Structures are given as C-alpha cells and as structure tokens.
Structure 1
Amino acid sequence: MGQGATGHIHVPDEAAAQEEADARLRDAEAALQAAKEWAQVTLNSIGDAVVTTDLESRVTYLNRMAETLTGWSCVDALGKPLVQVLTLIDGQTLQTAANPAQRAMEENRTVGLAMDCVLIRKDGSQLLIEDSASPIHDRDGCLKGAVIVFHDAHHSPTHSSKLAYQAQHDALTELPNRILLSERLSQAIGLAKRHQHQFALLYLDLDDFKTINDSLGHAIGDALLQSVAGRLNECVRTTDTICRQGGDEFVVLLSEIEKSQDAARIAEKILSALAEPYQIFDHELRITTSVGISLYPDHGTDEHTLLNNADTAMYHAKKSGRNNCQLFSAEMNALKAQNNNLGSQLHLALKADTLFLDFQPRIDIATGYMVSAEALLRWRSPTQGLMQPSAFLPVAEARGLMVPIGYWVLGETCRRLQAWRREGGDIVPISVNMSAMQLRDKTLPARVAEILNKTGLDPHFLELDVSENSLMHLHTDASISTLAELNRMGIRIAIDDFGDGSASLKHLHCFPIDTVNLAPCFVHDMLNNREDAMFIKALINFGQNLAVRVIAKGVETQAQLNHLESEGCDGAQGFWLSKPLSATNFRVLLGPDRPALQLSH
C-alpha cells in the first residue's frame, strides 16, 4: 500500500475557549449590573422608602426616599443597627416602639407598623409614617433578612380619615364632640323644618363627679366617664347622637320624637342606667345625674338657643335635688340669670368678708348638757336677703368657690372660739363641714396648723365633719394619711350623715374617727317606720362597736329624743333642742356665770 493521507482530529484553541467563557461571564455580569441598576432606578423612582437588613438587623440598603425621610445616606447607614437608622416611637405614648423588621423575621410574615408610628429622623425631627415590614428569602426559601417599606403618613387617605375622625370625636370616650354635634344638630334642624317634626336635646351633668375625680384621681375619673359613655350608648337609638360636651357633661340629640313624653322617657331610662353601681378598678362607685330637656321647635329653632335652654333646664334639675330631669320652661331663664347674679355676689362676699356663721348646739343625751356645736354658714345677699346654704352653695360649687369658702369657715370658727375663750367663755368643740376637695388637698394639715397657730386655738376644740359618701370617695392612701395627720394634731374627725352612704366597717377602720353623726332622714321617721327604727338601732350599735360617739341630727320632738336615749345614743342635735343661734346668742351659752351648759327646751 502506498503512502496514504494521515487523519487529523480538530482541537479548539484553548485561548479562544477562554475568551468565549469570559464573554459569557461579561454578558452575565453586564446583565446582572443592568438588572441591579434597573432595580436601583426602580427603587429610587418609587414614592415609598425602602430599607433592607440582614439577619442581625443591620442595614444593607436604603433607597433615595429612605435617605430623604430618615436623613441618613445609604453609605453612612450601611452596616449600622436598624434601630439607629430607623428609630421609631409610639406617637401616643412617646415610648420606643418595637422595630418591625425583627418581628417580621421572627414571625416569618409581613407585619404592619403600629398605628401612630413616629420616625425620629437623623436631625432629631419627627415624622409620622405608616406601612409594613416583610422577611426576605433567597431562591431556596432561606431567610436572609427583612425589608421595611414606609411613607410619610400625613397625606395618606388613611391618615386623613383618621384626622377627620379625631377632629370630630372625643379622645377619651370616642363619642362625637361639639364639632360633630353641631353638624348633626344643624342637619336635625333642617330635617325638622322640612318634615314638620320635632326633636329633643338632653343636657346631662354627672352629680358630684368632681368630688370623685378630685378625691380618687383622674385615672379613675376617666374610667368612670368611659363607663358612662358605654351606658349612654345602650339607652338610645343608633340614629341618635351622644356627645361629650366637655368635663362631665354630655348632650344627647334625639333626632326625632313624636311628643315631649318620649324625651322624658329616654331621660328617665338614662337616669336609671347611670345610677347603677360602677366597678372601677377596686372601687365601687355610685353617681347620679341631672338632665335638662329642650324641644324643637317649642324651646328654640337654632342650635345656640336649644343648647342653652337644655343647659338651663339641667341647672334647674340640680337645684331641684339632682338625680332628676326637667323640661325647659321660660321661667327657668329668670332663675339662671338670678344664679349668675348670685355667683358674682358670692365672689364679692368672700372678698368683702360678708359671710357669717351661726352655731347649733349638740347635747349629751344622758345629761342634757351642751358638749359641742356645729358651725353653719350663712350669707345675706344684697338682693335676696338672708339665704340658707342649700340656696347658695350649689352656685358656689358651680363657680369653684367651695374650697376658699371652706377655708374661710375654718378660719372664722377658730377665730371666734379663741375670742370667746379670751373673754372668759367656757368654750366647747365646734364642728366644721369639709368638702372632699379640701380633704384631698395635701396642704390641708399645714393650712389648718397655720390657722390654729394664728388664732392660738387648742386643736381639740376643732372637729372636721366629712360626709359618709365623701369619705368613701376619699378612700386613698393620701387622703387617709391627711386625716391621720389632722387627728394626730389633736383635731377631731367625724363622719357626717352616717347611714346615708355606702361605707363599710372595713373602710371605716382605715380612718381615724372620733364621732359619727346619724343622718336626719332616719331620725325623722324612726317612730313611725319600723325599718328606720331598726336601722337607727343598728347604726348606733355600729358606732359603739367602733368605740366612737354617736350623735343623732335632726331631732325635732321629745319623743324622738326619748327613743334615742333608750337606744343608747350618745348625743343629739336639732330644732327641739335649739335652733341655730347667732354668734352673739351662742356666746351667752358660754357665759362664765353659768354653772353648767345645760339646755332646756
């Protein structure tokens, strides 16, 4: 065989192969870079801020909007703890809020930012934000970090809606406020004119709420107002409007009624519902309510007149004994004007020192001798003459004058007693009624000490009378401490109107009590009412078990006095024994030439 051709196998050039691989890598890198740049452009183009973190909650990325909203540049923020770059607080409590990225990773789900979430920016300024955080997973589903997406909440529909709600509702009770009531009332007037029907406004004021709020604190007062709001909602229709007018005042708009009796029926239902006991924390509280009613169109055809007349009727309800409802009448406006005038006169009376005191003796039943007396506030109005406390004290309370008047009575009592003593009178202890507002005042012991020091009166000649209901509202460590400090000074402490409240032996043991004064309402009927007689006996035994003196108030007959003596009551006070006496006439009973301080009817 001749020389034949040799066969060759083609081997690709290694350099060419490497070049092809490098080209593919460059293409991939270019594609990846393009994708990253596209992602970067996309993230920087959207209106939301985007922040990403690794598993340790360290910042790995901020888009342009995140840089703008946080104040941090992406370069400066990289690797820093998320809580440093994205510092969040609760807009309501101003406490540090939990950062959502950690929660998203722990729960492996998308979570929303807390409502009212505020971002503290790098420069310290604050920004309300909203949105969410989500975990980041790789293609195999492994957790790699978290992403937080958020935006400025001030211009969001959700925030705008929330702001609109807040502008029209009371923050504490979530009831409509005056702004929304005004809108609803305007609508009601328009509809009533068009369809020729009537509607009603109920103006509510909680009786003695201020005493509870001042004695037990605002937290309990706020919780009580929230409970009241809940009960009111259960008393009316969904088409009606309940508004918190402010403080402890509420307004109910009954959008359509057929007759005035319908409004009165709802008012009575409200009175009954609000009078049920409230369990607020560890306190059982009881309150009553005064309600005024105005009707459209009988009592006004505009918002201002209807509200003003309902308020006037409510004030008349308070003057009529509270815990009742009153329908507006034209005569009430004259009474309101009179009370406004009285309030102005009372301000002047306190400044001009034109108030004065009468004194009603209290006797020891066994001996018939006077052993103490009660100081009773009096005022001679320039326009109405001599007025009883029941006529002007509600006006004083409405004008915020109870505390200054209370201190005036304390000072005048001590001054009178010491003056009589210097004149040679054989003085007896005088009791002064104290308001819960005074007793909650931490400076009360110091102020009383100052009065005693200024007048020179021996403390054991002063007795402070606290009503049973006020005492229960005062059941706080601070108030008990105040009474204990007064008692250590030598001042006597008495429960007034005992039996008319809701005190218990457990509560009373906490207070330093020397005397209990039985409420007159039980003394009045005890001879004709077996239940009252048994109740009086139980109260006397109750007082004796506490080792305190028991004084019956409101004694008006010898038969009542005899019955009290037979039951073992210690003392008595009332018209049968002596009417309240002027300071001059009372001074006669303290004359040094009298062998004893015995009273005779």
Structure 2
Amino acid sequence: MNGMIDNGTAPLDFFRMLVEHVSDWIWQINEKWEFTYSNSIVEEILGYSTNEILGNSIFSFIKMEEIESLKATVLYAKENNKTLQNIDFTMIHRNGQEVFIETNAKPVLDEHNKTIGYRGINRDITLWKKNQERQQQLLDIIEASPDFIATADSFGNTTYLNPSARSFLGIPEGVEDLQLVNAQLWTNKFVGLKKSELSAEKSIWKGENILSNSLGKQIPVSQTIVNHKASNQNVHFLSTIARDISERKAYETIIKRQALYDTLTELPNRRYLYKTISKLIEDKDEVHTFALLFIDIDDFKQINDTLGHKYGDRALKLIASRMKGSVREHDFLCRIGGDEFILLVEGMNAKEELENYAKRLLSIFKHPLRLDNILQSITCSIGISIYPIHGKDVETLMQNADKIMYHMKKLGKNGYQITHTNEG
C-alpha cells in the first residue's frame, strides 16, 4: 500500500490531482528552458492556459529588464547542478501587468548526473511585495521625519526610535538594544490616565506634553500616543509621534504678551487689569478687600509739548521703572494708557497702611527725571477706591478712583485721596 489509501486511484493520477489543487504554480522546464509541464494554476497567475505556455521558453514571460540577470543565475545553477532557492523575478501577465514571483526548483538530472532541466514551484508574491514596498515607503518617511516617532512593547521597553527620536534622547545610531530606553521617557502623559481620557477603540491620547531631551531641557511637544491592543484587548504595543512646538509656544507667548502688556513700559495693560480685577472680585468676599490706586502723572502733556514725544516716551519708561521698583512684588501695577497707571493692592485693610503706601509712591518723584542733559521734575496725583466699599464691579471701582484722583488735581495735585464712602 506504500502508505497510501487504496481508493482505486492510481498513484500517478493521485499526485496529478493533488498538484492541480494546490495554490502554487508547479512546473518543469527542459534544458532549452521550455515548459514541459505546468499545473493549471498558471492561468490564475499569468492569465495563460497550460497549453499556451507548454513549449515556450520561461524567458518569454519574464520582464525584459530582468532577462539577462535571471539567465545568468539559472545558467550558473544548471552548470553546477545547483538548486534554485528563493529567487525573485518579475513575470508579465497576459494583460500586461507585472507579477512578482518567488521560485524554488531542483535540477532534473540525466543518467550522467548532468542537469537537463528544472522542476519547481512558483509562488505569486505580488501582494506581499507591494505590502513590503508600502511598508518600506512608510519606514522611509518615518526615518526622514523630523518628528519624534517611537514604539514600545507591552512591558514598557522601547523597541524602535526613528533618527529624530534618537537625536532627541541622545542615543547613537549604532545602538540597537533599546530595551534600556524606558518608554516612560515619552509616555509620561499616557501612563495612569483614566479611561475617560482615552479613545475607546485603541486607547489613544492626544494633547500637549513635555519631554526632556538629552541635555535635560524640557521641550513642549504636540503628541499622540496609541495603545495598540491585541485581539484579547490586552496591550500589544505602544506607539507615539511627537512634534516639537517650542517655536509655536514662544510665538503664543509673544502674542499673549502683546495682548496683555504695554509695549512701551512692559507693564500689564488695561485688558490684563480687567482680567485681574475680575478674578480678584471672584475670589474675594465683603470681608476681604483690595484697593485700587488710580495714578495720573501731573502736567505730563507739557513734556510732550516742550520736549517732544520721544522724550515723553522715555519719561514714561523711567516713571514705570521707578514705580515697579517701589511697589511690593505681589501687587499689580499696570499702565492703562497715556500717563495713567493703576496699582492694585491687597492685604492693607487699615486706612493708615494704605495712606503710607500712597505717600511712598509720591516720594519716588522727589528726584527729577534725567532725560539726556535735561532734568525734568515730575509729580503725580492718586485716587483710591476700596473693594467692596467703593464698588463691587470693575467699572464702579475705576470710575470712583478716577473721580477722586481728578478731585485731588483740583486741590493742587501731587497728593492722594481715598474715595468718599458715599461715592460707591
């Protein structure tokens, strides 16, 4: 029985039937490279029937540019009775499309042990080849990307870093063992996140993060971290792509500063003042107070009129610098326009404390300003309103302080006054 089931089919017929039902192309060629046998799967692979290829040279179906190279390979193997093993080449389908083939074949020997042909198996690897090409294209893109791209296994060991990521972390290109590179270096935002903060399907986190580079410098990045899950929903591997947003952050800082700071004196501006007062009012109650000091430089218009706006701007910068040096670090000083400044003061509930603070501000103008060779005397008038006595909103506090400041100017300038209680 020779290990075969006897079902009435002759061994030759049995193997022929078996060969006809496999998915690979089984063939035989003679010493002239002509097909002497082919199973019917050739029609699915190349579009030609078995009868159409029998008697034709294998090289009639090979891509023109590869014929010479393949002939040399096969001829060398034939002359040395060598097996053809895992050889790739391109054949042309009946419709003109390229079909990528991988072949394995053994020599057919005559009685003198000389190769007179080959018998082998061709496998259509077109889909695999295209997938490989796509993967290589993606890898080329990833390798060339300026972004930080990395992967890690389920244990948190880094398995891949693209050149940008290696450079960022200070890891030489030749280092292949990345397991010592803990993935927490780049997954610090992802680890420990609640499920509600992750995308349900793949556990994706997107947002801004801070990564430390090889010099220990903190770099702001826009990052995506993906938790790739296996079919059992366990972590299969992690991947990330992160982009350095230092320039964007710096630009945002500049824009924010321009929006909230006075460009001449570099003090906070009116918009910043309103935000700050609103926040103070939200945080305070009627027991905890703060004071608003409205400061106006006396007769400042004369500087612009007599010396010009260039000197006027320099004077404002010097005034702002003097005031910044005389107020407490946690108090809020701003310029709201022209020669008008506002100072917000917290923690001075006693009237005497507030008056002493106002006197200190007046005293900084005892010495004249030096504008090149010109000494310019400066004084100021200060109106003070207190939250919530003189107002419970921004506008009321500002109006009452402004009103009492102008009242001070009528009384002779270079002084201060606290808003009368009935002004609120």
Higher helix share: 1
With structure 2 as the length reference, what TM-score do the two structures score?
0.42
Please report the TM-score for the alignment, with normalisation by the length of structure 1: 0.30
Say which one has the larger Rg: 2
Greater percentage in strand: 2
